[in-house]
Amino acid sequence: MADSSIEWTDATWNPTTGCNRISPGCDSCYALKMSARLKAMGQEKYQNDGDPKTSGPGFKLTVHPETLTLPLSWVRPRMIFVNSMSDLFHRDVPVTFIRDVFQVMRATPQHSYQVLTKRSRRLARLADQLDWPANLWMGVSVESQRYTFRVDHLRSVPSTVRFLSAEPLLGPVILDLDGIDWVIAGGESGAGARPVEGAWLRSLRDQCGQSGTPFFFKQWGGRSPKSGGRRIDGRTWDQYPAVARPLAAGVAS
């Protein structure tokens, strides 16, 4: 486990590492850049190189069964982002391993687990082959209107919480929020970050307000994640689903 600086979670757990680009939201992937640095530092989990056209140094999809038992030793309740450095529903992750990850979640009910994927088709296809733990929050990334089909796939899975991550938000998005429990939005950060427009964010905020869906604004982005701050029209938006223990918001004991 690693403590996380991501505003909407507390810690990260990476039973798999590596991935490859599949949509424009991947173009400036922070995990891809970080894996190259970790490889150079000699970290064992990041020594497998991916295809240079779609992946990169240290970023080949790699399964790490030795990490599966880690959450069993974490006593204090945490909000845990699963696979901040990968995608659990990548085609190269065996369904048997996904079941193992789900079993660890079920065995540690003191925690809440957040899984985020861009592989929504595989998520929907495998959903009825998995035993869904009550403490799992399932999400999909939606960076532009073109990828709103992922929301329909998400709606088909029996997760306690279904959430959307509109980060990096690359254009205006009109969403059907029926069956969606949470929306996270944010701009891109890093060198060459593509700017987010205020109108896109305000539209998402207002759609959430109209549907009663909690809205979390992570960042405006820019050169660094904190370059533009986290306020929209003078307000910080840190809403969570009703079932949440908002540990990342500072109420952990």
Q: Is residue 104 part of a domain?
A: yes
pLDDT, tens digit, 9 for 90 and up, residues 92-106: 999 999 999 999 999
- Whether the predicted pLDDT of 207 surpasses 70: yes
pTM, to two decimals: 0.94
Confidence of residue 243 (pLDDT cuts 50, 70, 90): confident
29-48 confidence digits (pLDDT tens): 999 999 999 999 999 999 99
- Under the banding of pLDDT at 50, 70 and 90, the label for residue 4 is confident
Residue 1 burial (CB count, 10 A): 15
Number of domains the chain is built from = 1
Sequence-separated (6 or more) residues with CB below 8 Å from residue 109 = 133, 134, 135
Question: Does residue 58 or residue 253 have the better pLDDT?
Answer: 58
Cβ atoms of 168 and 188 within 8 Å: the answer is: yes
Domain membership of residue 88 (yes or no) is: yes
- In-domain check, residue 21: no
Confidence of residue 5 (pLDDT cuts 50, 70, 90): confident
In a domain, 65, yes or no: no
- Does a structural domain hold residue 9? no
Query: What is the C-alpha separation between 231 and 213, in angstroms, rounded?
Result: 18
> 185 lies in which domain range?
75-248
CA 46, distance to chain mean position in Å, is 20
Domain membership of residue 3 (yes or no) is no
φ/ψ region of 65 (left if φ > 0, alpha if ψ in -120 to 50, else beta) reads alpha
- Residue 246: pLDDT above 50? no
Q: Which two tokens stand for residue 210?
A: 């109209």
Structure confidence at residue 125 as a pLDDT band (50, 70, 90): very high
Indicate whether 16 belongs to any domain. no
Gyration radius (Cα) of the chain, Å = 17
Within 10 angstroms of residue 92's Cβ, the number of other Cβ atoms is 15
Q: Is residue 134 part of a domain?
A: yes
With vertex at residue 13, the alpha carbon angle to CA 181 and CA 101, rounded to the nearest 5 degrees, is 75
**In the predicted structure, residue 232 carries a pLDDT above the cut 90:** yes
